[in-house]
Amino acid sequence: MSLHNAVIGGSRTSLRPREVVARSWSRSLGAGLAPDGSNPRALLPLDEVERRRQRSSLREVIDDLGAVVAGVGDASQLMMVVTDADGIVLWRNGSSRVRRHADGLGFREGATWTESAVGTNAIGTALTESAPVQLFSGEHFEQSQHPWYCSAAPIHDPRTGQLLGVVDLSGPAMTLHPAVTALVATAARMAESQLWRRQEDRLERLRTASAPAVAGLSGPLLVVDEHGWVAHATGVAGTRRVAAPRIDRAVNVPGLGLCTPEPLGGGWLIRPLGGAERIRMRLDLNDTPSLVVTGGDSTWHSPLTARHAEILLRLHLSGPAGLSVTALSEALYGDAEHAVAVRAELSRLRRALGPVVDSRPYRLSRTVELTVDFGDVETPGDCAFVRSLRVET
């Protein structure tokens, strides 16, 4: 308490709060909050709270969370609180006596419990710091919260990494249970584990539902969910996830190259842009090198490193004859001693663009049609990028 009064009040003191507390007190003061607890409280209406509950993925694990903390909560007069990513209290569970005390602080369903609203507290500080936080008594910014102990941990969506909310255990500081900190961390990990188990169930349902549609298809393919997690794979191994599919662009899949995504029930069917269809690529050398790739109805824009742009340009200029690894080493590095570096660059280029370059010798694939935009110059040799490479055009 004396530390809080000295630091918040601006007095000289040799005492120092923990770094996480000092950062949070500074943010709270910067937000113009009052440490005497006179900061206004606002509650969302119950229908909005219910709407947020239904929209939250945490509703799938709220019973599991309650089961984990119920025993300790009842024995220690603690209360479990779960918020969404905005710091809105959506669920409370625990001692009725503690919940009544919490009501007096405005610590109830529909309340915003962020640092910017109520100052330093375990929930709001965990959201800001993106890490578990434990606060005891006078470490809270508002004096009205000093009789409390709080321990909170963020919960993330294991599919996307997105922050879903925070689980918190709060109660009277003098009845602190020694297992609380570990229990909260365990609860957060358990919630993420349970969410992933449900994700695996969804992938299994997608795999089963898509089986009739893919049974008659030949060639490599993937069936993925909306986030790109693989439910089924044929002809490609070791890929657990690809970029989230979109109808307006191709997807690059390691081992398959550029692929077209097609909606399939509750997921996507992904197949290579193969067959007789040609992949059209435009190498733009105006400013920062970039590539526009078109296949079927999809168009994909990608920045390029200068080295990859140079490789594509030199292979384009070499025509069907292509370049040996030795010739490409001499062109890129000025000698024939960089074969390993050449192979590494080509491997990175294929991972970025797919199988658009053939080997032995290196040359553009026959399915690729490459054009080069040298910019607004009279001749290709006047292009600044070309001049920097001393390339014969």
Q: Is the pLDDT of residue 87 over 80?
A: yes
**pLDDT per position as a tens digit, 4-47:** 555 555 555 556 788 999 999 999 999 899 898 778 888 999 99
Mean pLDDT score, 266-272: 91
User: Of 203 and 392, which is predicted with more confidence?
Assistant: 203
Q: Minimum mean pLDDT among 80-84, 118-122, 195-199, 274-278: which range?
A: 274-278
Q: How confident is the model at residue 290 (pLDDT cuts 50, 70, 90)?
A: confident
Would you state the pLDDT for residue 340? 84
Q: Is 184 helix (H, G, I), strand (E, B) or coil?
A: helix
Q: Is the pLDDT of residue 391 over 70?
A: no
Mean pLDDT score, 163-181: 82
Kindly give, in sequence order, each residue whose CB lies less than 8 Å from that of residue 177, ignoring residues fewer than 6 positions away. Answer: 72, 75, 76, 78
Would you state the pLDDT for residue 215? 84
Quote the pTM value.
Answer: 0.67
User: Of 296 and 252, which is predicted with more confidence?
Assistant: 252
Kindly give, in sequence order, each residue whose CB lies less than 8 Å from that of residue 237, ignoring residues fewer than 6 positions away. Answer: 255
Token duo for residue 226: 């909306």
Domains of the chain: 2-198 (3.30.450.40), 217-272 (no CATH), 279-389 (1.10.10)
Q: Tell me the H-state helices in 323-383.
A: 325-333, 339-353
CB atoms within 10 A of CB 282: 15
Would you state the pLDDT for residue 155? 95
Would you state the pLDDT for residue 345? 86
**pLDDT per position as a tens digit, 92-115:** 988 788 888 899 889 999 999 999
Would you state the pLDDT for residue 54? 96
Would you state the pLDDT for residue 276? 41
